[in-house]
Amino acid sequence: MTDTGERVRKIIEDLAGQDWWARKRASVALQSYAEDSYVAYLAEGVRNHDNADARTSAMEVFVSLGPRALPYLEILIRDDDPEVRLFAANMFCEIRATDSVSPLICAFADKDVNVRAACVEALGKIGDSAALGVFWQALQDDPWVAMAAVHALGEMGGPEALAILYQCLDREGIDALALQAIERCGDRESIGHLAACVRRPRFREAALRAIVTIAGRERITPNPDYFASLVPAMIEMLRTRDPDIKRYAFVALCWSRDFAVIPYMIEGLKDDDLQEYAIEGLWGMGRMALCSIVDELRASEGPNRVILAKLLSMTGQNMALLQFAEDEDPEVRTEVALSLGALDMARARAILAKMQADPDEEVRQAARLGLAEMERRRPRHD
C-alpha cells in the first residue's frame, strides 16, 4: 500500500465511532485526495454489516462528495447485496443530483421492494419530470412502493406531479397519503380537487386543513361555491374540542359567503383565535351583513363592539354609524367620528360639530379629523 493509501485508510478507520464534527473534519480531509485513492475503502465500509458506525461514516463521506460520488454509487446500486443497493439509493437521495435520474430509473427494476421504494423517494427529491413514468409504475407496485411514490410526488411538486396525485385521491389505500402530499405541494388549482374530498366524511377534516394551508400559502380566497353545500357539516365541526379543526371549519364557513353563517362570524369576533377570519368574512359579505352587524352593535357589550363599528366603516356603511354618535363607548364614538367625514350631508356635519365637545379627547380629535376630511371632499368653485 502506498503512503497516500495508508493515510487515507487511517482517516477512514478513525471515522468510525467519532462524533459528527470529527467525521465532518475527516470528510474534508479526505477530499484533499483523489477519490480513486479511497473510494474502495468507502465501498468496503458501506458493505460492512458488522460495524454500523463504519458504514454510516463511509456513507457520509460519499454524500459529502456530491456529484463526484455518482460513478461509484452507480456501481454500488448494482451490488449483489440488496442492503448495499438500498444504501446506494439512499445516498443518491441525499445528493439529489440530476445526473442520478438515469441510474435510479434503471435501478427501479430491482427485485427488492425496499430498493424500489428508495429509488422512488430519491427521484422525488431530485424532482426531474423524466421520472414521471416510474411514478406511474410505482403506483401499481407493492403497497410499500406505491406509498413511497405518493410521498415522493409530494416532495417533487409541480403541475405534473399534482395531476398524478389528484388521481390517487380515488385510490383506496393511498388516498389519505395523496391528500397529505397535495397539502405539501398543492397550488390554487388543487383547492377544487380537495373541496370534493371535504364531502367525504372520512377526509373532511384533513381536506379542510389542506385547503386552509394551501390558501394561506397562495394568499388567495377560494371560490365560495366550493363550500356552499357544506355549511351544515362545517357548523357541526365548530363543536369540536380540537382548536385547529374548529379553526379550519370556521375559515371555510367564512369563505362560503352564506347568509346563514353571519351569526357564527359575529360570534367569532369574540374568539381571539377566530377574530381575524371573522373580520375578513364579514367584510367580504358587505351589505349582506349590514343588519346583523348593526343589531349586534346595538345589543352587545364588550371590546368587540368597536370591531363591529370598524366593519361598518370598512364596508362603506357610514350612514349606519350615524345612530351610534352618542354611544356609551368612546371607542365606538371615535370610529363614528372618523367615518362620518366621508359623508357629504348636513346631518353628519352637525353631528361632528357636536362631537367636538365630547368629554373624551380622542373623540374630539376624531371629530376634528372628520370635519377636515369633509371639508377636503367639498367641491371647489373658482
**Is residue 375 a contact partner of residue 353, using CB atoms and an 8 Å limit?**
no
The pLDDT value recorded for residue 298 is: 94
Q: How far apart are CA 357 and CA 346, in angstroms?
A: 18
126-135 burial, b if ≥16 CB within 10 A, otherwise e?
A: bbbeebbebb
The pLDDT tens digits for 242-272 are: 999 999 999 999 999 999 999 999 999 999 9
- Determine if residue 219 is left, alpha or beta; phi over 0 gives left, psi from -120 to 50 gives alpha, anything else beta: left
Q: Can you tell me the mean pLDDT for 157-177? A: 95
Q: What is the mean pLDDT of residues 346-363?
A: 94
Asked if residue 351 lies in contact with residue 325, where contact means CB atoms within 8 angstroms, the answer is yes
Q: Percent of the chain beyond pLDDT 90? A: 72
Cell numbers placing 30: 479526505
Q: What is the predicted pLDDT for the residue at 152? A: 96
Compute the mean pLDDT over every residue in the chain, rounded to the nearest whole number.
90
Name the pTM for this structure.
0.80
pLDDT of the residue at 17 = 64
The Cα 192–Cα 103 span in angstroms is 37
Is it the case that residue 101 has pLDDT exceeding 90? yes
pLDDT of residue 8: 67
Predicted confidence band of residue 160 (pLDDT cuts 50, 70, 90): very high
In CATH terms, 317-382 corresponds, of 1.20.1050.10, 3.40.50.720, 1.25.10.10, 4.10.780.10, to 1.25.10.10
Q: Residue 1's pLDDT is what? A: 47
Judged by average pLDDT, the poorest of 342-346, 352-356, 360-364 is 342-346
Looking at residue 15, its pLDDT comes to 67
Domain spans of the chain, in order of start: 317-382
* Of 174-178, 212-216, 222-226, minimum mean pLDDT range: 222-226
Q: Angle CA(282)–CA(284)–CA(290) in degrees, nearest 5?
A: 50
